Amino acid sequence: MGTRSGDIDPAVIEYLMSKGSMDIKQAVDYLNKKSGVLGISGLSSDFRDLHVGAANGNKRAKLALDVFCYRVKKYIGAYMAVMNGADCIVFTAGIGENTAGIRTEITKNLNFLGVEIDEELNKQKNNGKIRDISKPGSKVKVLIIPTNEELVIARETLRLIN
């Protein structure tokens, strides 16, 4: 998450309140607005800033990117386990659509689950269309699907006012 803590042990809240001298409002604010990749990096919740920081040797920015990829990979594995496999993995939105390195790290070593991406296809610039970046023999398709959040918001707004 950009600024939120994600999965945490519930004892963290007690720790923040007793050892960190926070009240409940401060602890919740900390976990929602000062954690995630922002808290790990100490730099930003914007992945563009994290990439620049990591490229310039900022170890915390690199760690934030590594933790993000690890967590996404962990969820893919968990969901594939409970669903008994998957037909497709979709990368979308800003990070998923535009960051080949993130897609590479997330899918690395998932070939035992049938996930294989073609690195040349993965590195190609996003063209605003749905793209399949799977290797020809991949049992699980890996797609990049562009989002159009503004259109979805406009449609939902129209639906609500009608």
* pLDDT tens, residue by residue, 102-143: 999 999 999 999 999 999 999 998 888 999 999 999 999 999
- The reported pLDDT for the residue numbered 41 is 97
50 and 61 in a single domain? The answer is yes
Q: Extract the residue ranges of the chain whose pLDDT is less than 50.
A: none
Give SS3 for 33: helix
- The reported pLDDT for the residue numbered 127 is 83
Give the domain extent around 43: 1-84
CATH number at residue 39: 3.30.420.40
| Domain edge (last residue) among 84, 112, 143 | 84
Give the residue from 136, 145, 98 showing the smallest Cα distance to 117: 136
Long-range contacts of 121-126 (CB under 8 A, 24+ apart): 126/97, 126/98
End-to-end CA distance of the chain: 34
67 and 15 in a single domain? The answer is yes
- The reported pLDDT for the residue numbered 36 is 95
- The reported pLDDT for the residue numbered 126 is 80
